[in-house]
Every structure is written in C-alpha cells, then in structure tokens.
Amino acid sequence: MSATLLSAWENTVRAAPDAIALIDASTGQSVTLAQLDADGDAWCVAHGCDLAGRVVVLAEPSGVAWWRVFLGLLKCEAIIAPLDPSEPTAAQRATATQLRAAGRWSAGQWHAMAGVSARRARAGRRIVKLTSGSTGAPRALMFTDAQMLADGKQVCAGMDIRGDDVNFGLIPFGHSYGLGNLVVPLIAQGTPIVCAAVALPHAIADAIAWWRPTIFPTVPALLRALASAEIAPDRLASLRTVISAGAPLAPEVAVAFHARFGRKVHSFYGSSETGGITYDRTGDAALTGRSVGTPLPGVRLVLGRGGRFTVESAAVFTLGNRRRAADGLGAHRPADIAEMSATGELTLLGRAGRAVKIAGRRLDLAEVERALRQRPGVRDAFVTLHAARAEALAAVVATDESGETLRIALRERLAAWKIPKKIVTVVAFPITARGKTDTARVRALLDA
C-alpha cells in the first residue's frame, strides 16, 4: 500500500515520539512529535465530523496552531487548501466557494460554508495548491499524497536536508515552497522547525543565534535586508545551508550575504505545479547569477523550441493535467524560457509569451530585461509597453543608478528602438507574501 502523508507522519511519531517537532521562536514553547500528534487527534474529534474527502480552507498563520489544524485535517481525511491568512475575509470566502469547500479554518475558528454544496473527492487527493497568479488568475491545483511526498523527498535529497537538521520556518507553511521545504520534511523524516513570525533582520538574527537552526529557506528580499543590516557574522553561525527561492536572486545580494556572514546562498527554482525543479548545490552559481542550478534528484528537464522546457517528475500534478512523461509521470511546461549548459545548469531568460510589436518590429520584452539585469548594480528589471506613448517601452528597475545612466548604458547593448523611453528606478521591487515580485504594484510604479 502506498504511503500517505498521514501514514508517513505516524511512522515518524512512532520512531521518536519525544523528539522536538516545533519551537515557537517568540515564546520558547516547544512541542514534541507525540504532543503534536495528540493535538491533531483532539482537533479532529472536535471539528472533523464528516470532513472525509471534502475540501477545507486553512487560513491560519504559520506556527504551532497551523500544525494542529493541518494534522487534524489529515486525520479527518479532509482535502486541505492552505490559504494566505492575510487575505481579506471576503477573499477567503470566495476561494472556499470556488473550491466548494465544506468550511474554512481562519483566525482560530471554524466557519461552515452555508449554502455551498460541498463535494467529496476520490481517495488519495490531499492538498490543493493555489498558484501565485503571477502569469494570470490564481489556479487551484489538486495534489495527491504521493506527489507531495515525492516533492519533499526530492527536495531533501537534493539539498541534503536531514532528520537531525533544524529548519528555520519563516516562509509560509501553506505555500508550495513551505510545503516542500518545511512541512513534508517534518512529516516524512522528523526535521523540526523553529517557527518564526517576525521578518525583521535583527529579529531573524536573534532567533537564529538563540535556537541555532541549520537550514534557512528564505527569499531574496530578506537576504538583502540581512546583508545590509549591522549584524555580527556569528549571529548566523549555526546555519549550514541558506536557500533562496520565490524570486530572482541578484548576484550582488548573494555576494554581500557571503561577505558578511561567510555563507553562500543556494538558489532554488520551483513552481506550484511542479514543486522543486533545480537547485544550486555549491552556491557558486548564485554569486555570478549564471544559473539556478541543476535538476533535483528525480526531476527531468526536456528542452524544446524557443527556450521552452518541460518538467517531468513524480511531484508534478496530474489531475486536470493532460501532459505526461513517457513513463507516465506528471509533466508541466512552465511559462519561463531558459537555456541549459553542458553541465546541466539551467539559466532562466525570462517569461514566454511576452512578445510585442514596436513600429512593426517584433520584440521579446525579456531581451530588454536581460540587458538591464546584466548591468552591474541592477538588482531586477521589469519592462512593458509605455502607457502614454505609442511605439515605446517603459521600465521599472531596482538599482541605485539613475534612469538616464541606464539608458546611456543600454546603447552599447540594444538598438535605439528597444531602449525604454521611461525608466523608473527603485531600491527594491515590492513583493507578495510568497516572496514573489508583486507585478501589479510594479506596474503601478509606472503610473505614479
């Protein structure tokens, strides 16, 4: 019989019931595997009547309380749809309605979905991931126990995350990154988590210095903040591996972080649809920005025309997905375009489907963004059509240089018609709760 998330959890608890599972960094409260398991049982008894096979939206902040509900839902055989708890109540209700959920757990309370005909799904479907919506409206993707466990296994093997490591849990548990790097490693191999809620540089450093985690999955914005803050290098001395995902990591951030703390940053690339895809095992690629690493164990990349590629692995979703690998595994083609080196390193070049016409000439906006990012001191770039001038481009660039300086520099790389007429410069791009670039807010900067 195939393992499930619940059976994997039960095996982990039986192997070491008194081992620490979670530590609340703000209160110092620690919870053992056996205690957390009992909390899940209690939640299921109190709230789990008739939830088997039904979708439940989980909109609880990351922490010990999130885990109690999550395990309770597993024990009730519910299908769990983690949702960003910062979403307004109306948005939470709308998502629950869209999923035909039996109810939602939010702010420590159960909210039944009145007037909604809750559907039951077939056995084996366990997690609903909601995509970030960076390439369109967010989509709800159903994953099986086997796919979630496969992603965690591939992540742990590729990143060398062990049962005796300690994860620093600052990224949201319910997002794809958090599920693969924090949630499944605890379920399947007992890797404990220090639950941190304050994303301020000195608070992060204090929590790491006190609780001494060894693995730190994070996002570029927090790495930049840490590298810029006056923090003694030994505050982060316990960290063995620092992982960056969710948004492009600028080489200057990787270099600054390494210079201050003596720790290389390992770039990680993945998606909601596929789980983890590639990983920079040495941390050297991040220092120059040359790639996002090589495929994780169990992940195959098949390159096609125009830089498009397909991801094949046991972690890729299959429900509602017609693509399949030759051996029957799930397959997904991301919206990114890339090239692969002879050594298997994947370099992202931009997003597909971003071609425009300028005075009758076809241009891929990613070409202009690449030219900007290759400029020393440019941390990120976004290019689009100019809202007020026909046949012209506009750009937002994260840099300390002026727009005019950038325009002059681009003359050496691009034809004049490809150079943005308007360039807005900022210190850093706004990001979403998932650590991804908030494209809507970036576009709004052009209108400001």
pTM: 0.86
Mean pLDDT of 300-319: 95
Mean pLDDT of 28-37: 97
| pLDDT > 60? residue 266 | yes
Q: Looking at residue 133, what is its pLDDT?
A: 56
Q: Looking at residue 361, what is its pLDDT?
A: 80
Greater confidence, 435 or 342?
342
HSE of 48, CA atoms in CB hemisphere, 13 A: 22
Q: 287-322: string of b/e by CB count within 10 Å (b at 16+)? A: bebebbbbbbebbebeeeeebbbbbbbbbbbbeeee
Residues 6+ apart with CB under 8 A from 193: 21, 22, 23, 166, 167, 168, 169, 182, 186
Q: Looking at residue 433, what is its pLDDT?
A: 65
Q: For the domain 5-294, what is the CATH code?
A: 3.40.50.12780
Mean pLDDT of 389-393: 86
Mean pLDDT of 3-11: 96
First to last CA, the chain: 58
| pLDDT > 70? residue 100 | yes
Which of the residue ranges 99-108, 219-228, 399-408, 432-441 would you say has the lowest mean pLDDT? Answer: 432-441
CA 321 to centroid of chain Cα atoms = 21
Taking Cα atoms as reference points, which of 274, 216, 204 lies closest to residue 240?
216
* Alpha-carbon span 385 to 355, nearest angstrom: 10
Where does the pLDDT of residue 125 fall: very low under 50, low under 70, confident under 90, or very high at 90 and above?
confident
* Alpha-carbon span 48 to 58, nearest angstrom: 13
Q: Looking at residue 71, what is its pLDDT?
A: 98
Taking Cα atoms as reference points, which of 245, 256, 254 lies closest to residue 283?
254
Q: For the domain 355-447, what is the CATH code?
A: 3.30.300.30
Mean pLDDT of 88-110: 91
Task: Write the DSSP string, 64-91.
Answer: HHHHHHHHHHHHTTPEEEE--TTS-HHH
Helical residues (DSSP H) of 220-295, grouped into ranges? 220-228, 251-261, 284-288
Helix (H, G, I), strand (E, B) or coil at 20: strand
Q: What angle do CA 9, 300, 1 make, to 5 degrees?
A: 35
* E strand segments, 241-299: 241-244, 265-271, 275-279, 294-295
Q: 47-84: string of b/e by CB count within 10 Å (b at 16+)? A: bbeebebbbbbbbbbbbbbbbbbbbbbbbbbbbbbbbb
Residues 6+ apart with CB under 8 A from 109: none
* Alpha-carbon span 16 to 1, nearest angstrom: 23
Where does the pLDDT of residue 119 fall: very low under 50, low under 70, confident under 90, or very high at 90 and above?
low
* Alpha-carbon span 162 to 339, nearest angstrom: 31
| pLDDT > 80? residue 29 | yes
pLDDT digits (tens, 9 = 90+) for 185-202: 999 999 999 999 888 999
Q: How many CB atoms lie within 10 A of CB 103?
A: 20
pLDDT digits (tens, 9 = 90+) for 328-363: 999 999 989 899 999 999 999 877 777 788 867 888
* Alpha-carbon span 283 to 366, nearest angstrom: 25
Environment class of residue 447 by beta-carbon count within 10 Å: exposed (0-12), middle (13-18) or buried (19+)?
A: exposed
Question: What region, left, alpha or beta, does residue 315 occupy, with left being phi > 0 and alpha being psi -120 to 50 degrees?
Answer: alpha
| pLDDT > 70? residue 115 | no
Contact 314, 303 (CB under 8 A): no
CA 33 to centroid of chain Cα atoms = 26
Greater confidence, 58 or 353?
58
Mean pLDDT of 239-246: 96
Q: Looking at residue 440, what is its pLDDT?
A: 86
Q: Looking at residue 135, what is its pLDDT?
A: 46
Task: Write the DSSP string, 338-393.
Answer: EEE-TT--EEEEEESS-EEEETTEEEEHHHHHHHHHTSTT--EEEEEE-SSSTT-E
Domain residue limits, the chain: 5-294, 355-447
* Alpha-carbon span 66 to 195, nearest angstrom: 10
Mean pLDDT of 314-325: 94
Q: Over pLDDT 90: what percentage of the chain?
A: 75
Q: Looking at residue 148, what is its pLDDT?
A: 98
Report residue 421: phi and psi, to 5°.
-75, -30
pLDDT digits (tens, 9 = 90+) for 204-220: 999 999 999 999 999 99
Helix (H, G, I), strand (E, B) or coil at 252: helix
| pLDDT > 60? residue 137 | no
Taking Cα atoms as reference points, which of 205, 216, 207 lies closest to residue 260?
205
| pLDDT > 80? residue 251 | yes
* Alpha-carbon span 442 to 448, nearest angstrom: 10
Average model confidence (pLDDT) across the chain: 92
